[in-house]
Amino acid sequence: MVYRVVYRMVDNEDDAADLTQDVFVRAYERLHTIRDGQAFQAWITRMAINLTHDKSRRRRVTPLSLDSPPPGTGEGMEWQLSDNTPNHDARLLAGELSMQVQQALSALSHEHQAVVILHHLEGMEVEEISRTLGIPTGTVKSRLSRARAELRRRLEGYFEG
């Protein structure tokens, strides 16, 4: 569950694996800080979200251009992006949709991104998110509403109707 939450926030398998490991190391080091009766899942999920936010603030990745040669190659080299599967067009459309949604999700603030991931992708109820993040249920509902509106705005040109 920690890996899924982190992966959905960073959209990179290697970074998600590294961050997940960092979360569990930090959790082990701070296990003594968990309060009696506090849910471990809520505690570690909150830690994962906070650590992911901290790391993303410190590290910004420069996107690669498909117009320039692949890294580590000389001039004249080109990207190899072929796919010869029978459902190539369907896979391209599904991949494009997934990419558009991920880009829209990544553009949200960390607070909005966290509640969308926990609610819509992890299936947590509003009350559980409230306990996990340590914020009132009204704040969770408000963030969900604003995040949905922002996602709708960012994706409106992509979808018809």
**Which residues, in sequence order, are CB contacts of 66 under 8 Å at separation 6+?**
79, 81
So what's the pLDDT on residue 127?
A: 93
Name the residue among 129, 131, 157 with its Cα closest to residue 144.
129
Q: Which residue has the higher pLDDT, 153 or 69?
A: 153
Q: Is 138 helix (H, G, I), strand (E, B) or coil?
A: helix
pTM > 0.85: yes or no? no
CATH number of 89-161: 1.10.10.10
**Which residues, in sequence order, are CB contacts of 110 under 8 Å at separation 6+?**
49, 53, 56
The tokens describing 127, both together, are 């009350």
Q: Express each pLDDT in 16-70 by its tens digit.
A: 999 999 999 999 999 888 877 668 888 899 899 989 888 876 665 556 666 666 6
Torsion sign (Cα): 83, 89, 91, 95: positive
Per-domain residue ranges of the chain: 1-59, 89-161
Q: Express each pLDDT in 58-111 by its tens digit.
A: 665 556 666 666 666 666 666 555 555 556 556 555 667 778 888 888 889 999
- Structural element, H or E, at residue 98: helix 88-107
Vertex 65 angle, CA 63 and 66, to 5° = 135
So what's the pLDDT on residue 37?
A: 67
CB contact at 8 A, 4 and 121: yes
Cα-based distances in Å from 56 to 37, 62, 106:
31, 13, 11
Domain 1-59 has CATH 3.40.50.150: no
CB contact at 8 A, 150 and 113: no
